[in-house]
């Protein structure tokens, strides 16, 4: 999907992107990598990077501002929302 997106952006098919919204998640049950702190678990380190990566590819620059909020459960963040500007 990233390759196709890059092609369409380079060709000008999509035009100037002004807003991007991504949503990605899956159940954390029985997934130790996502729920164990010593394995790097949590929504930000495990899933949050996919949306960030897409935003960096689309806008081709680092954000000037990041606002984030997380819901914590058993010492790790099981929900995360972030806004980049």
Q: What is the pTM of this model?
A: 0.70
The secondary structure of residue 69, as a DSSP letter, is E
Whether residue 6 is predicted with pLDDT greater than 80 in this model: the reply is yes
3-state secondary structure of 54: helix
What span, in angstroms and rounded, lies between the C-alpha atoms of 65 and 84? 6
The contacts of residue 43 (CB under 8 Å, 6+ apart) are: 25, 70, 76, 77, 78, 79, 80
User: 29-56, pLDDT tens digit by residue?
Assistant: 777 766 777 777 777 767 778 888 888 8
Annotated domain spans of the chain: 24-84
């Amino acid at each position: 999907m990233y390759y196709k997106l890059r092609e369409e952006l380079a060709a000008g098919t999509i035009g100037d992107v002004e807003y991007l919204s991504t949503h990605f998640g899956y159940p954390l049950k029985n997934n130790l990598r996502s729920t164990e702190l010593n394995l790097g678990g949590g929504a930000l380190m495990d899933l949050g990077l996919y949306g960030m990566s897409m935003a960096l590819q689309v806008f081709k620059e680092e954000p000037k501002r990041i606002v984030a909020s997380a819901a914590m459960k058993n010492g790790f963040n099981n929900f995360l929302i972030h806004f980049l500007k």
